[in-house]
Amino acid sequence: MTEQSKAKLLQEYDASVKQLQRNTAIKASKESPLDKQRRIKKLKSNYADFFEYYLSQYATAKTAAYHKKAAKLVCDNDISYLIFEVYRSGAKSVHTTIGFPLYLMFTDRMRYMLLIGENNDKADELLSHIQLQLEGNELIINDYGKQLKYGSWAEGDFVTEKGVSFKALGLGQSPRGTRNEEQRPDYIVADDLDTKERCRNPKRVQEAVDWIMEDLLGTMDIGRQRFVLANNRIHKNSILANLVKIFKQTNQKLREQGLPETYHHIRVNAIKNRETFEPTWPEKYTADYWRAIFSRPSRNNEREYMNNPQDDGVIFKRDYIQYKKMLPLNEYDGLCFYGDLSYKIKGDFKAMKLWGKKGRELHRIHCFVRRTSRQQVSEWLYNLYEDKQLHKYNIKYALEGLFSMDEFVNDFDTEGDKRGYHIPVTASKRAKGDKFDRIESISGYWERRNVWYNEAEKETTDHEEELHQLLSFEKGSTTNDDSPDADHGAITELERIGFDNSYKKRMGKRKKKYSY
């Protein structure tokens, strides 16, 4: 950080102190000394009440259940290691870097806080937020007196009147010898350490993980060890993801030895499910808020709000995706509409695709991939049938052949009744088997660059969702896979059509080898 930048930050900090003093100014009160002590004792007995009273500028909504759960694990246990994996805007940082340490400090359970940032400048800036509260929050000063003794966040550390130390370090800086007289760190919080650049380099990630597990945690006090890593999952090979694995392995060893598990992992997504968009923090966000956020498929949304990073596909990779102008429909060797519509009326995605085969190439010509009703799929298909005059072409129309097939076909027949004609939709006869295996089995078409997408549909939301599901597809993924399953169904049907046509050509004429 340049001297000019630091001077500007110090100026902004001073202004923030004055603003906080005004915002938290104590109004005339008839509270007696005894009532005051009772109030303080009550606030100290409940983290959420403590946070909402003293840090009201951050508490714009009631404390979430997951904040309370994390606070209980960290504050009520002298030895606790927590990975707090929370979506962006889920208030993970304000609780772990300000709320938890202040609560621990004023309940006499913390003597030395060590704050780790992605780099030294970010760590110092994070430390300024807690010094701001101790220096400018009149509610705190009214109950606990003046706090700051010496030092400054701008220099990376400060000490309170009661000897509680606060220090900031950047990721990878040597923490060896970190102490204040006889005190070693007894609360360490690492905030937002992962970056996209580091995550792309497995060696750098492993170095960071080793530094945390060996150098950083090795500095902690004996008998009082609280550690929190607060982050959302931005990459599958992130520091967070690797530490989660280590924590699980460590707990397994503790269980085998009959010891209590002290390594915890709390994972919180923005919504509880994708059907109702029920928020995990209903005191602040509504289902409609998240429904609007997720209305347009986005890899960023998945990474930031659902802890579901998708920087590249594991099986279907982004560089496999290619576009071109589609051929006239009468030039294809085979055409197939295939629908994977799910049993739930609105619960899952409905996917319907038109695929064409030309020689070795497979073209995804049209697609419908939305979380909606089967009636909407029917209307879309009939509208497309009329707009493109599909009656002129030899196209197979197939649906996933489930136990509810009759109900699915009826949706299309009902739409046909309205229009006075019926599209001949039939049940697919493809072999089912394991869903993961069957979808993975078609990945070779993409890998050999035989698959092309319609360039005219490149910017549509249906295509964005189509790619989102395809690139997210892997074993254990929680992302919907209705779209790639429809791809498998269509390609299976096209290969069958191609085989049948080839067989008929071979069997059409037979040379006579002998004459009698």
CA dihedral of 256, 262, 265, 266, whole degrees rounded to 10: 130
Q: What distance in Å separates the CA atoms of residue 111 and residue 510, rounded to the nearest whole number?
A: 93
Query: Any idea which residue has 């931005």 for tokens?
Result: 234
Exposed (0-12), middle (13-18) or buried (19+): which is 44, by Cβ within 10 Å?
middle
For the entire predicted model, the pTM comes to 0.70
CA dihedral of 70, 76, 81, 83, whole degrees rounded to 10: 0
What is the SS3 assignment for 115-160? EEECCHHHHHHHHHHHHHHHHHCHHHHHHHCCCEEEEEHHHCEEEE
CA dihedral of 362, 366, 369, 374, whole degrees rounded to 10: -120
3-state SS assignment for residue 192 = coil
With contact defined as beta carbons under 8 Å apart, do 271 and 286 qualify? no
pLDDT in tens, the chain (516 residues): 677 777 888 899 999 999 999 999 987 778 899 999 999 999 999 999 999 999 999 999 999 999 999 999 999 999 999 999 999 999 999 999 999 999 999 999 999 999 999 999 999 999 999 999 999 999 999 999 999 999 999 989 999 999 999 999 999 998 876 666 678 999 999 999 999 889 888 899 999 999 999 999 999 988 999 999 999 999 888 999 999 999 999 999 999 999 999 999 999 999 998 889 999 999 999 999 999 998 876 778 888 999 988 656 779 988 899 999 999 999 999 999 999 887 555 557 899 999 999 999 999 999 999 988 888 999 999 999 999 999 999 999 998 865 445 555 677 888 999 999 999 988 877 666 788 898 999 999 999 999 999 999 988 889 988 998 898 888 877 778 999 999 999 999 999 876 555 545 555 555 544 433
For 405, the token pair is 């097939």
What is the SS3 assignment for 475-494? CCCCCCCHHHHHHHHHHHHH
| DSSP class of 84 | E
Q: What distance in Å separates the CA atoms of residue 285 and residue 275, rounded to the nearest whole number?
A: 16
3-state SS assignment for residue 315 = coil
Residue 49: phi, psi to the nearest 5? -65, -40
Q: Which DSSP string corresponds to 336-375?
A: EEEEE--SSSSSS-EEEEEEEEETTEEEEEEEEEESS-HH
With contact defined as beta carbons under 8 Å apart, do 127 and 152 qualify? no
